[in-house]
Structure 1
Amino acid sequence: MSSQRFTHSLLFKIIVAIILGIVCSLFFPTWAGRIFATLNGLFSNFLGFFVPVLIFALITPAIANLGKGAGKWLGITTGIAYGSTIFSGLIAYATSVALYPTLLAGQSVSAASDIEEGALSPFFKVEMAPPMEVMTALLLSFCVGLAMTAVPSDSLLRGANQLREVVMKVIENFIIPLLPIYIFGIFVTMGMNGNLVSTISMFLKVLVVAIVGTLILLFIQYLLTGLVTGANPLKALKNMLPAYATALGTSSSAATIPVTYKSALKNGVTESVAGFVIPLCATIHLAGSMMKIVLFAFAVMHMSGEHVSPGLAIGFILMLGVTMIAAPGVPGGAIMAAVGLLTSMLGFTDEQVALMIAAYIAIDSFGTAANVTGDGAIAMVVNKFARGNLKASSSAKRSSDAF
């Protein structure tokens, strides 16, 4: 990529937005921060409204265009995503067993702090209720898409493909151009919230372990992908950098879908496979989030003086992997879905749950970035197995050009 092309790329704009957001948070007056808090709230609420529509509009025609093999590839993709998530959890558990006795020696958990306390408040809010829940959209897209493969209907298929093209236009002309501004606002408001610093410092060592762990996880994923597909793992990772950077700023797998899709195409994934795997994995593949939750959960247990047996740890990871499939691909979605298991299986108190939520949300973006980058690896593997079986329709080809 030439320097001129790079300076006009989304990756460059996101990097600049992050740097400017951190710098501006040091001197921005409160009223300026509240302006961006208001804009962030509006954009975030719109994403919450639009994400279920996006998932339904992308996955339904993708499944329908697959034909009778849709159920097979749905099962294969879900199985790979679950396996990747469990693998990540096991790595995190092994890391906690090996490092925490020395790394966290002498440290104990204090009272949890509320990460929202003292945060900048927006001037106003506009509630944008989604037409359906994320899981409802996902299940509905499965049912409608699979039904369309069993009961062929040209009019329904044409309507589904046209809906996808409309959604792509919204993504291309509205969401993508506003992403750098949204990311800038996120880092401005995060930097001006003093509680964020204290929350991160409490788990600084675990934070470093989690970041390094997600990076190692990505290298392992792409090394395995390279062995399966024959692709250069380092080149494939480089092509996924725009998706990684976008997720780092938005903390949302769903909001990063367009960039992840485009990056997957650069790795040679066909449009039909990318249109099917990327939106699906944005909801069901949370390997990076799994690593962070396991590392932080066992850190809280260790600092609370509580022992976790291997059987309980592995059972927790297996159940958490299922829960992650149901977690929405939006900021903080994974930890909210995991709260039930933290209390029921690990016996977390309300204070410990509050501490987990605060610490997780404070550095949510690194796990999300690992999630979406791993989605690209899964897309490459499915593309290898399905090549010749999945045919991109002309409508799918046109809609992919919107990215």
Structure 2
Amino acid sequence: MKFNFGLLPRIIVAIALGVLIGSFAPEWLARIFATFTTIFGNFLNFIVPLIILGFIAPGIAKLGKGSGKLLGLATFFAYASTIIAGTMAFFAATTILPNFMQGGSLSAIDDPEHALATSFIALDMPPVFGVMSALILAFLLGIGMASTGSKTMFSFFDEFQAIIEKAITYVIIPLLPFHIFGIFGNMAYGGAVAEILSLFAVVFVMIIILHWVMLLLQYTTAGTLNGRNPFSLLKTMLPAYFTALGTQSSAATIPVTVRQARKTGANERVIDFAVPLFATIHLSGSTITIVSCAVGVMLLTGDVASFGSILPFILMLGVTMIAAPGVPGGAVMAAIGLLETMLGFDSTMVALMIALYLAQDSFGTATNVTGDGALAMIVDRFTNGKQAAKL
């Protein structure tokens, strides 16, 4: 029987080994860490615009199918839920995290006496186009395909998406533990790892609590609108939650989510239409994780996370993550470009974000899919099942 050593255990082992080896590594070994992380980081910068184009364009095109009113309501509630989740995460993180960490501790690695090791070689991999160009092009082509019904273009981008997903599944995800190992090894060599490890523990607990607060908010709203007990509804959806913990994929959990959502009493046609749609456009749990981790990393670097800078990031994040790859870490991969262009993250900060996010990925996915049941009930309440009859 083949033993499947999952991504999360590999990430944990990579962090532990990086801290241990980096604490005693000579300069030449630390420079080897830096060489790999630099090359891999450059590759990430190269592929991020392709990820955005490959997943957002066909994702938007797919939204053009189905009943107009039902589609519009489902999209509106999914986006609103994602924005509310991100806003809640920002205020919670900026209130709680400063009490548990020293701001600017990561900036100590820039001190000449505690400098990070440098790469042996410089291998530039300039992206084909920038992140904003990719976003604009993805919106233009996605909306164009949806309005014209172009089968040829959609087929091309569907296959292009499959190619990018293969690159993520078979190149990026397998190499991520080595990248994180190198980052933590180099930071341990530079003496800046203790505060980062404390951040992991605090952020982990805070995010789990925020996930459940969001679920209670979603099901209280759905229960109030439909005259149902929100705790009973949430209990009904727990099988979907625990299934997503194991699959780490909203798409893979759709059959269980649909089955449990039907037990809530919502119109089955609404459920059958809305749940698969929400699996690609509703990411409240992932948004909570990304925003919380971003605020934590910014605190470590001494940066102030103001609501004025984070709100545009949250608004764009709700769109950028549409149709994020159905692989572990897909949402954070789609968000890398925004982290770099809107929040000014460098390669070290991006690597920390990836490590923090992947440690929470299954819980964020579980929150996403469990919330889908509540949103389906809300959509059903506003359509009364009438629009579903047209599907």
Q: TM-score, normalised by structure 2?
A: 0.61
Conserved 8 A contact 1:88-1:291: yes
Unaligned runs of 5+ in 2: 7-54, 110-137, 151-176, 185-192
Counterpart for residue 189 of structure 2: none
Cα offsets for 1:236-274 (capped at 9, x unmatched)? 100000000011111111111111000100101222111
2:312 paired with 1:315:
yes
CA distance in 1, matches of 2:181, 2:336: 25
Alpha-carbon offset, residue 215 of structure 1: 0.6
Alignment CA distance shift 1:74-1:146 (3 Å): farther
Conserved 8 A contact 2:270-2:385: no
CA distance in 2, matches of 1:348, 1:293: 13
2:3 paired with 1:35:
yes
Alpha-carbon offset, residue 103 of structure 1: 2.1
Partner SS for 1:363: helix
Cα offsets for 1:124-182 (capped at 9, x unmatched)? xxxxxxxxxxx99xx79x959999xxxxxxxxxxxxxxxxxxxxxxxxxxxxxxxxxxx
Conserved 8 A contact 2:70-2:387: no
CA distance in 2, matches of 1:353, 1:363: 16
Partner SS for 2:249: coil
CA distance in 2, matches of 1:253, 1:101: 32
Conserved 8 A contact 1:285-1:375: yes
CA distance in 2, matches of 1:303, 1:245: 33
Task: Give 1:262's match in structure 2, choosing from 259, 264, 267.
Answer: 259
CA distance in 2, matches of 1:302, 1:266: 44
Alpha-carbon offset, residue 200 of structure 1: 7.1
Counterpart for residue 46 of structure 1: none
Q: Partner amino acid for 1:36?
A: N
Counterpart for residue 11 of structure 2: none
2:354 paired with 1:386:
no
Q: Partner amino acid for 1:244?
A: Y
CA distance in 1, matches of 2:197, 2:266: 38
CA distance in 2, matches of 1:391, 1:320: 29
Cα offsets for 1:321-369 (capped at 9, x unmatched)? 1212242343211100100000001110111101111121122011111
Alpha-carbon offset, residue 314 of structure 1: 1.2
Alignment CA distance shift 1:315-1:388 (3 Å): closer
Conserved 8 A contact 2:284-2:367: yes
Alpha-carbon offset, residue 384 of structure 1: 1.4
Alignment CA distance shift 1:335-1:200 (3 Å): farther
2:317 paired with 1:349:
no
CA distance in 2, matches of 1:331, 1:203: 19
In the TM superposition, 1:155-170 aligns within 5 A as none
Q: Partner amino acid for 1:324?
A: M
Alpha-carbon offset, residue 107 of structure 1: 7.7
Counterpart for residue 243 of structure 1: 240
Alignment CA distance shift 1:391-1:82 (3 Å): closer
Task: Give 1:234's match in structure 2, choosing from 214, 231, 235.
Answer: 231
Q: Partner amino acid for 2:311?
A: I
Cα offsets for 1:156-212 (capped at 9, x unmatched)? xxxxxxxxxxxxxxxxxxxxxxxxxxxxxxxxxx9xx9999x997651111100000
The root-mean-square deviation of aligned C-alpha atoms, in Å, is: 3.5
Task: Give 2:105's match in structure 1, choosing from 108, 131, 137.
Answer: 108
Alpha-carbon offset, residue 234 of structure 1: 0.6
Alpha-carbon offset, residue 392 of structure 1: 5.6
In the TM superposition, 1:135-154 aligns within 5 A as 143=146
Counterpart for residue 368 of structure 1: 365
Q: Partner amino acid for 2:348?
A: E
Conserved 8 A contact 1:271-1:392: no
CA distance in 2, matches of 1:381, 1:283: 18
Alignment CA distance shift 1:95-1:388 (3 Å): closer
Cα offsets for 1:91-149 (capped at 9, x unmatched)? 011112211221223683498xxxxxxxxxxxxxxxxxxxxxxx99xx79x959999xx
Unaligned runs of 5+ in 1: 1-31, 39-51, 65-69, 112-134, 148-189, 397-403
Alignment CA distance shift 1:90-1:388 (3 Å): closer
In the TM superposition, 1:51-90 aligns within 5 A as 70-90=67-87
Alignment CA distance shift 1:280-1:200 (3 Å): farther
Conserved 8 A contact 1:200-1:359: no
Count of aligned positions: 269
Counterpart for residue 355 of structure 2: 358
Counterpart for residue 171 of structure 2: none
Conserved 8 A contact 1:289-1:371: yes
CA distance in 2, matches of 1:37, 1:231: 41
Conserved 8 A contact 1:254-1:330: no
Partner SS for 2:4: helix
Partner SS for 1:301: helix
Alpha-carbon offset, residue 77 of structure 1: 0.5
Conserved 8 A contact 2:104-2:302: no
2:302 paired with 1:305:
yes
Alignment CA distance shift 1:194-1:344 (3 Å): closer
Q: Percent same amino acid at aligned positions?
A: 47
Alignment CA distance shift 1:146-1:373 (3 Å): farther
Task: Give 2:290's match in structure 1, choosing from 281, 290, 293.
Answer: 293
Alpha-carbon offset, residue 307 of structure 1: 1.3
Counterpart for residue 92 of structure 2: 95
Partner SS for 1:91: helix
CA distance in 1, matches of 2:85, 2:315: 11
Alignment CA distance shift 1:351-1:194 (3 Å): closer
Counterpart for residue 207 of structure 1: 204
Counterpart for residue 273 of structure 2: 276
Cα offsets for 1:8-60 (capped at 9, x unmatched)? xxxxxxxxxxxxxxxxxxxxxxxx7x63359xxxxxxxxxxxxx9xx99xx89
